[in-house]
Amino acid sequence: MENSLNNSVRKNRTICLPIKEASYMEIVQDSRTFRLWIDENITNYPGLFPPQIQQGYLMKDDRTPKKQPIPIRRIEIDGVSYSIRPSFVMPYMTGFTEDVEPALFMRKFSVPYWALARNYGRDPMYWYRLECSLGRNSIVGTTIQKEQDLPKDLVVDEKHSKHLGEKNYIATTVGAHCVLGVSITKNSDESSLFKAYEIFKEEARTLAPAYTPTTVNTDGWAATQNAWKKLFPKATLILCILHIFISIRDRLRRKARSLLKVVAEYFWNCYHSPDKFHFAQRIRRFCEWAEGNESLPGVVFDKIQKLRKKRSLFATAYDFPEAHRTSTMLDRAMQRMDRHLFSTQYFHGKNSSAELSIRGWALIYNFAPFNPYTQKLSGWQSYAEQLNQFRYHDNWLQNLLISASLGGFRRPPQNPV
């Protein structure tokens, strides 16, 4: 994991900056004007550059790629060369942002690649590769621009999936409504999940070396909890209470639907308790009611008793008012993920391409625009903008590409303040 991260940092030497095509073509031929433009961006957006940029830089050569007639200039920072790419073109000059943006927006709704090819040209593999190319960027570093905005309260779980017909799992980390980590693992044991979730830790620690979440909401799977205890020993694990209710609800729907409303009222009355004392008291009354109700199915009775046995674990959330007591935020993201996986008939090809595919999906989920009505209510057009409270560009795809400057692997100074 660490080697792959270091390789990603080493290879990402492209700085993406916002500018219109006409303006760029005017200044790119004149090195002095081009330098003034870079200086302006350093002042306005210092986070898009390596921290060593403050020590100065040298102008280097320029080149014109064969794929697109767009001249690209390079600069040298602390002995390392970096390419300056305008945001109106895609990485590796695979297309103009304005041309591919409508099709990639459709991927938010899992429109298949062949349909994109039919409506927007090219071939299905072009759109597949374009989405996968987004996955090369750090999800955390692209989504979050400032280390102080890293969420202190996370929700994690594994999504069951398939790769070439064999079962696998997608270790998913969500915070501040954004998908911050997705990694595929073949097994759900502690060691495998540790390695899968460790990618999130490495990307977060690249942005903020001392980062540790305050709370992590998980289900009752011991392997998940043990993996996160090893990753962040100082973090407090919060047991998701929603899983208890879902298991009760599903069984009552099949065996005793008439009892569902009564049980739901008891359960959510416990959930909305103002403090630990009332929480324990209401659970006790809930269990007393269950013990006196002979029509209650045995499997549901066992779930209610489980709620009482683990009430101290559920009550931990009262010590952290900002913590997530349920996995609702993650469930919303997983609903989208489920549609994405179903539309592609899950994963095919190599493990590396499957990993890039789901990572590309995560960044589209974070940056693609909301429903216009939601935008009107929140004032922001995506989860990433809502988290950062700003945007680099009004076009969501250009905003993503600019946010992914240096691949999102922008290391802070060696001795951060």
Whole-model pTM? 0.92
| Phi-psi label, residue 158: left if phi above 0, alpha if psi -120 to 50, beta otherwise | beta
192 and 212 in contact (C-beta within 8 Å)?
no
Per-residue pLDDT of 187-196, as tens digits, reads 999 999 999 9
Closest listed residue to residue 144, CA positions, set 409, 401, 365, 384: 384
Looking at residue 174, its pLDDT comes to: 98
Looking at residue 3, its pLDDT comes to: 44
Name the strand (E) or helix (H) holding 76: strand 72-77
DSSP 8-state symbol, 145: -
pLDDT < 50: residue spans in the chain: 1-10, 413-417
User: How far apart are alpha carbons 241 and 218 in whole angstroms?
Assistant: 9
User: How far apart are alpha carbons 25 and 291 in whole angstroms?
Assistant: 77
User: How far apart are alpha carbons 223 and 153 in whole angstroms?
Assistant: 20
Looking at residue 2, its pLDDT comes to: 43
Greatest alpha-carbon pair distance for the chain in Å reads: 85
Structural domains of the chain in order of their starting residue, each with its CATH number: 97-235+332-392 (3.30.420), 242-319 (no CATH)
Looking at residue 68, its pLDDT comes to: 86
131 and 360 in contact (C-beta within 8 Å)?
yes
Angle at which helices 124-134 and 113-120 cross, to 10°:
110
Which amino acid would we find at residue 393? H
Per-residue pLDDT of 14-26, as tens digits, reads 999 999 999 999 9
Looking at residue 290, its pLDDT comes to: 92
366 and 382 in contact (C-beta within 8 Å)?
yes
Looking at residue 412, its pLDDT comes to: 57
User: How far apart are alpha carbons 305 and 357 in whole angstroms?
Assistant: 42
